Structure 1
Amino acid sequence: MEFTTGNEQLALVRALFPDLAETLDSALAERGQGAADRDDRGFDAWLDAEAASLRNGALAGAPFAALGDAESARFEAAFVSARSVALQGKLALPEPEAFAAAGVDLGRLARHLASDATLVPVPAPYGLGAERWGELFRNAAAQPGSPFGASDSLTFAAEVLDGFGILDSVPDPALARVETHSDEAVPLTWTLRLIPATPKPPLLGLGFAHGPHISLPEMLMLQLMRVTTGARPVDTESFTWLAGALAGGRLAARHVFDDSESLVRISCREIGNQGPHLGARPPVG
């Protein structure tokens, strides 16, 4: 599912909020302004503000209204955290309705949430690139009380950078996805899955073959979302395998939070490695 900006987006907002559009059109007509000489950019900004007000007020939680109260609250909290991360990085986070329209079964995810308190909904962007992820982590490091160091709070091994295109791609072609386009940012593809947010991976001591594994964007987004709530990073004493084999299938990436240096490290190990502190966070989606 694809979202654009400009006139097409304005038409979409008009369709979603016809009463608001009619109210402003009437006000403009009273001032002698017709549709032909209306400033669409000003109208677009006004509707955006009104829509945001509704999302935070009467319509807050509406996408999750059919879910149980506890599951709805967990979805809402996750999107609040993800939206904070996105705003800091000037990213266009899709609304929950967009994920549902793209094929994400929110009801099924809610049932998994109800049965597992460790799962967290994580909207994750693909196509961001290593430098932009670095910017997001530097933004997070600047927040009061951040666990990340003031300098480089995210590091990638050379093998990771060599295969970054693999790690930065949606790991499963069958996954529902939402594409966002804007005039200011590169096109991004977003997915929404549930990620185990336990301090250590729930499946430990296993090699890369024992998946499925979460993606690099999901892992990084989970850490950034936790920072917005004041929660500690995961993997302070463990490593998590990341989806996508590298170096012709010989290596795979792994994630760890280095508490001694206050940074996230993404390094590589051979896929057969199965140390006691290395494991998987199987996603649900």
Structure 2
Amino acid sequence: MTEASTAFQSGSASVGQASRLDLVRALFPDLAAEVDGAAARFAPPGRDEAFDAKLDAAAAALMPHAAFSDVADTEGARRAERSFAAARAACTWLDLELPQPEAFVESGADLAGLGQELARDAELWAVPTPFGLGAERWRAAYVRAAETVAALAPSASGESPLVLAAEAEREFKLLDTPPAGVPAVNSGGAAWTLRLVPAGERPPVLGLGFAHGPHVTLPEMLMLQLMRVASGVAPVDSASFTWLDGALAEGRLAARHVYDESELAIRITCREIGNQGPHLGARTPLLGESSSATPRR
């Protein structure tokens, strides 16, 4: 086991507990303010943890969100709620406000179908994703994340833990484009999509070249990783590579994602589209049970 892995595991319990409270506070800011106000007025020193526990319990009683009331499966609804809570926490690093689930419904997202898929496959995460932010915005978000989680760290020179190959940097706009045919919500200067992304340690489809898509987009992978570390969960792709949607260099190259556990960094490298190997594969996103735009492979 690497030192990085040991450090992450040793800190995961405390990070997970702190992240959970952060997620609850992001979900219920009014309730958090009320409890904090009461604590400031009446609580003796050292009672912060007790008030946080009450906040946690009160928030749990209010779940699930009304937007997921059409999800017949309780587990699917619970996991959808958890995904949105993690996304809200990730958005604090992006300096963005996550659109409400209802906004995705109005744009055409099928929350009931998403919930059914979530209930069937424990490795799927619902990933609300902003497009059009640009490389610098994502790099800055990863710097902020590295200040609070153990799974990410700036380089020795203080640079962002998000590292882009020259080709990915040069054609970032192509990688930062919403996938065709996917409903989008325009909010906060970004186009937001909502899809399910396979989030197992390795891609579910391995050993294939870029032609065997469709593929997850770069912003979806970046958002998924922020959501996972905000939840106290290890990043994916520590021993694998995931192809990313959008051919580069006039169709000759494609970007791929990996988590560099030794450097605690997310790296986006590029290879020829025909490149393949046992550790390189695809995470095909899903729109939900009723959609055929991104079929299950």
Flag whether TM exceeds 0.5 (same fold). Answer: yes
Aligned to 2:285: 283
Structure 1: gaps of 5 or more residues? 1-47, 182-186
Aligned to 2:173: 165
Shift of residue 88 of structure 1? 2.7
Aligned to 2:86: 81
What percent identity do the matched residue pairs reach? 51
Paired residues of 1:81 and 1:229 also in contact (CA < 8 A)? yes
Aligned to 2:20: none
Give, in whole Å, the separation in 2 of the partners of 1:73 and 1:49.
Answer: 22
Q: Does 1:254 align with 2:259?
A: no
Once the two structures are superposed, residues 22-55 of structure 1 have per-residue CA deviations (whole angstroms, 9 ceiling, x without a partner) of xxxxxxxxxxxxxxxxxxxxxxxxxx959x99xx
Aligned to 1:155: 163
What secondary structure is seen at the aligned counterpart in 2 of 1:123?
strand
TM-score (norm 1): 0.77
Give, in whole Å, the separation in 2 of the partners of 1:244 and 1:137.
Answer: 22
Shift of residue 107 of structure 1? 1.2
Shift of residue 65 of structure 1? 1.4
Paired residues of 2:80 and 2:118 also in contact (CA < 8 A)? no
Paired residues of 1:171 and 1:244 also in contact (CA < 8 A)? no
Structure 2: gaps of 5 or more residues? 1-28, 35-58, 288-297
Aligned to 2:187: 180
Shift of residue 59 of structure 1? 7.0
Q: 1:126 aligns with which of 113, 126, 131?
A: 131
Runs of 4+ more than 6 Å apart:
none
What secondary structure is seen at the aligned counterpart in 1 of 2:133?
coil
CA RMSD of aligned residues (A): 1.9
Aligned residues: 229
TM-score (norm 2): 0.74
Q: Does 1:70 align with 2:68?
A: no
Shift of residue 60 of structure 1? 4.8
Shift of residue 270 of structure 1? 0.3
Report the structure number with the largest CA radius of gyration. Answer: 1
Aligned to 2:265: 263
Q: 1:141 aligns with which of 142, 146, 150?
A: 146
Shift of residue 128 of structure 1? 0.7
Give, in whole Å, the separation in 2 of the partners of 1:80 and 1:89.
Answer: 15
Once the two structures are superposed, residues 73-113 of structure 1 have per-residue CA deviations (whole angstroms, 9 ceiling, x without a partner) of 10110011100111232202101000011000111112211
Paired residues of 1:140 and 1:146 also in contact (CA < 8 A)? no
